[in-house]
Structure 1
Amino acid sequence: MIDPTPPTTTATLTIRYFAGARAAAGRSEETVPAGRSLDDIAADLAESHGERLASVLKVASFLVDGVTCHDRHTPLPAGTTIDVLPPFAGG
């Protein structure tokens, strides 16, 4: 018998890693549940990926939908894209 109830869809946002953050995370992108703050998301990413990424996240800049994030406490809605940008060397 086919269940007529549609499957539950979890609201997510996308994390994109660049340069050293990509190397530390071991991937270029992933999705996480929406509705949580950037600080909460960063803490969870550090815990799930380990100390190497945790170190990068401490000094990284974050873009939320292409804009520098200054409010790390407001919950982020579904569909948001967060770019993790570690400090870049060079000149």
Structure 2
Amino acid sequence: MITVRYFAGARAAAGVAEETFPSGTTIEQLASKKGEPFARVLHSASFLVDGLAWHDRQAPLPAGVTVDVLPPFAGG
């Protein structure tokens, strides 16, 4: 299993702060799970896998990792 944690706008779009998925799930598959508004947020989000940037949205996520979904932040 993998743990996915959502922050800020991603949390609002997902409707939960955290959830689990089977290992091997891809970022693209996450986007398809919750509908179009959520997919739009994921399209512009950044991803950390166990604290390291993850850029390949089609690569299977390994078992036991934590994925942080970070939408673009605004402010100054």
Tell me the TM-score normalized by structure 1.
Answer: 0.75
Where does structure 2 lack aligned partners over 5 or more consecutive residues?
Answer: none
Q: After superposition, what is the alpha-carbon deviation per residue over 1:53-84, rounded to whole angstroms, capped at 9, x for unaligned?
A: 10000000000001111344443221100000
Of the two structures, which has the highest relative contact order with CA contacts closer than 8 Å and spacing of 6 or more? 2
Number of equivalent positions: 76
Q: After superposition, what is the alpha-carbon deviation per residue over 1:26-50, rounded to whole angstroms, capped at 9, x for unaligned?
A: 00011011024xxxx3332222211
Q: Aligned runs of 1:4-83 on 2, under 5 Å? A: 12-36=1-25, 41-83=26-68
**Aligned residues with identical type, % of pairs:** 64
Where does structure 1 lack aligned partners over 5 or more consecutive residues?
Answer: 1-11
Matched, 1:84 2:73: no
Q: After superposition, what is the alpha-carbon deviation per residue over 1:16-35, rounded to whole angstroms, capped at 9, x for unaligned?
A: 00000000000001101102
Quote the RMSD (CA, aligned, Å).
Answer: 1.4
Aligned equivalents of 2:57 and 2:31: distance in 1? 15
| Structure 2 contact 28–58 (Cα < 8 Å) conserved | no
> Match of 1:53, as an amino acid?
F
